[in-house]
A and B are shown apart, each in its own frame.
Chain A
Amino acid sequence: GAGVSQSPSNKVTEKGKDVELRCDPISGHTALYWYRQSLGQGLEFLIYFQGNSAPDKSGLPSDRFSAERTGGSVSTLTIQRTQQEDSAVYLCASSLVSLAGSSYNEQFFGPGTRLTVL
């Protein structure tokens, strides 16, 4: 069907509140990534899911950040007790596979969620 979708497109919240960001990957894609894009910082890797394997959480900046992927499809990134430094665009990407050496490693990106923490 359509490409990767993310919701909401914009989220403004107050410091200390929790937020949930949603990603709907392309149907059939086994790999799903979350990145954070800040001005001048490029794309910061957060977490990656590959099929039924345990997720790689090595990029999560603190224990306030968590993510889950239900049924191998939709993913939710949760930020608890938001801080002003969490303000950024959060990008989700999916790919058919995520395996070094494969020609199917192309990531398809969603439009992102712009998070502003006041």
Chain B
Amino acid sequence: AQSVSQHNHHVILSEAASLELGCNYSYGGTVNLFWYVQYPGQHLQLLLKYFSGDPLVKGIKGFEAEFIKSKFSFNLRKPSVQWSDTAEYFCAVMRNRDDKIIFGKGTRLHILP
């Protein structure tokens, strides 16, 4: 069964629009949570991560994500997107029972200039 679900496969927004990308996971134990980004032609790189403490995590380039344990969610947000945010975004979960990192299927974000 898929452990990480990203509901939006392809999102198109105009510049300055607000962004929220959904991520839900199905594992009930302790988790670490990640968002990775892959810009066109580049490697995957870490955007932000949650491992403990404040459930609101701030990452690079103005992105943030909130861990809501009761909803098994870790949605990614940005108040005002830029054309340079065009990329594919992946949510990932590390489960404490096996320390393995599982990725979602990704969301392709296209920002219109």
Binding site for B on A (CB under 8 A): 3, 33, 35, 40-43, 45, 48, 50, 56, 58, 91, 93, 98-103, 105-107, 109-112
Contacts and interface: CB of A to CB of B under 8 A. Distances in A.
A106 B92 CA distance: 11
A56 B102 CA distance: 13
A35 B96 contact: no
A53 to B, nearest CB: 10
Given A40-B105, A42-B105, A101 B46 contact: no
6 contacts: A33-B101, A98-B94, A100-B51, A101-B52, A106-B49, A107-B46
Interface of B: 6, 9, 30-32, 34, 36, 43-46, 49, 51-52, 90, 92, 94-96, 98-106
B45 A100 contact: no
Contacts of B44: 43, 91, 93, 107, 109
B99 A50 contact: yes
Given A103-B51, A105-B49, A109-B45, A41 B105 contact: yes
Contacts of A106: 34, 46, 49
B41 to A, nearest CB: 10
A43 B49 contact: no
Contacts of B98: 56
Contacts of A3: 43
Contacts of A100: 30-32, 51, 94-96, 99
B16 to A, nearest CB: 28
Given A103-B51, A106-B49, A43 B32 contact: no
Nearest to B45: A109
Which 9 residue pairs spanning A and B have beta carbons closest together? A100-B96, A42-B105, A43-B103, A109-B44, A42-B106, A109-B43, A98-B99, A106-B46, A100-B99
